Structure 1
Amino acid sequence: MIDNENIEKKFSNELILLHSKDHIAFFTDKVDTHYHSHNYIQITIGLEKGFNITVEKDSLYTEGIIVNSNISHRLYGYNEWQLYLLINPESHFGEAIKRNFLQEKQVYVLGEKEIRDIIQLDIQSMPRMINSLEYSKFIKRLKEVLNISNYNLQHKIDDRIQKILTYIGAYPLDKLSVKELSNMIFLSESRLSHLFKEEIGISLTSYILHEKLEKAFYLIFNGLNITDSAIEAGFSSSSHFTRTVRDKLGMAPREIIKNSRYLKV
């Protein structure tokens, strides 16, 4: 079992944010949101106890739930630790979740066995021991429990898309545009967008936005203020960044940053 006293002393009222290519995850004991919706599919697991979630006015107490993208909801965590996975619905990961759990419904309440199998992955100890390697192992095993471990079968990426990925990784995000990228590989914007989604499993605009969010939080967690971080990451203003974060994460940037740690995985 989790060492409650140790957790309270070391991590009380904290948020640990992990940024991956197809999802964002955070461990926290400070979630108490108002109604909001975001573009991500959300998986929430109680590390110790359940939580209360209201989805479009229907309220329930549970220990594990999957909520489809763009569904209005609010959550009260009782100051207990939960794991949140915010998965891009256009990624292979997101498509696998939709196929397995959300084909005929907008919400899937995880069963006792599913929650027990996830908890047995030693999820309770993650806030104390979290690092990139341990998280990668955990997320791989979680996908196996959810029966989606083969969602990202390896294939050789089209050379043109590989060139785009390399360019995005090296070029200033504040100056990046789909038009410029399409000109670079001599494709129309619509053809590039189609090919990128086909190869990567996520739209090009979503990929770029995800990169901007990642860069902004990286800069913030390395000491730059919110406004300068937002501008350098390619947002038009700090308010644009704040609106985007609320839309994608359901929380304001300042709420996420306070008493938080950041890890790229």
Structure 2
Amino acid sequence: MLARLINTQEEGSPPMVECEARVNEIIHYIHENYNSSISLENLSKEFFVSKSRLSQIFKDATGFSIGDYIITYRIKRACSFLQSGMRVQDVSEAVGFRTSTHFIRTFKKRMNCSPGEFAKNSE
């Protein structure tokens, strides 16, 4: 991760260790708040960095856009909840989707099966 950041460092940008620390803080924030509304704008304000710079350092460090990382993490958590027997409606709320329809559509796109099918196959 650090090597990727070093290779893409711009003139006058913060030291790479600082960028890596910032990305780790952002990841920690996402993991702690994935069940609430998180946007690039929210993160930009929370971490006092421009949206474009935040997007750049995050993508350089992780290979994911911030939005894609959030969705991927939410789906990962959803899988755990579904395996524990939680209802699909409750899981969608627990992992931060506004509607169960959006959750089901996103889950199916990412996992190639519906949340219900995933839960059934996990039994």
TM category, shorter: 0.7 to 0.9
**Residue equivalent to 1:185:** 47
Give identity over the alignment, percent.
Answer: 32
**What amino acid is aligned across from residue 94 of structure 2 in structure 1?**
E
Identify the structure with the greater strand proportion. Answer: 1
1:259 aligns with 2:115: no
Q: Which runs of 4+ in 1 moved over 6 A?
A: none
Equivalent of 1:170 in 32, 35, 39: 32
User: Per-residue CA shift, 1:162-185, capped at 9, x if unaligned?
Assistant: 111111122242232221111122
Mapped to 1, the partners of 2:111 and 2:32 lie a distance apart of 26
Higher Cα radius of gyration: 1
Mapped to 2, the partners of 1:224 and 1:255 lie a distance apart of 13
Check whether the contact 2:82–2:115 (CA below 8 A) recurs between aligned residues: no
1:231 aligns with 2:121: no
Mapped to 1, the partners of 2:29 and 2:44 lie a distance apart of 12
Equivalent of 1:160 in 22, 26, 51: 22
Q: CA deviation at 1:188?
A: 1.6
TM normalised by structure 1 equals: 0.38
Check whether the contact 2:35–2:93 (CA below 8 A) recurs between aligned residues: no
Query: Secondary structure of 2:98's partner?
Result: coil
Identify the structure with the greater helix proportion. Answer: 2
Check whether the contact 1:230–1:237 (CA below 8 A) recurs between aligned residues: yes
Q: Which runs of 5+ in 2 are unaligned?
A: 5-15
**Residue equivalent to 1:201:** 63
Check whether the contact 1:174–1:231 (CA below 8 A) recurs between aligned residues: no
Mapped to 2, the partners of 1:171 and 1:234 lie a distance apart of 9
RMSD across aligned C-alpha pairs, in angstroms?
Answer: 2.1
Q: Which runs of 5+ in 1 are unaligned?
A: 1-91, 93-154
Check whether the contact 2:34–2:73 (CA below 8 A) recurs between aligned residues: no
Mapped to 2, the partners of 1:224 and 1:257 lie a distance apart of 9
TM normalised by structure 2 equals: 0.76
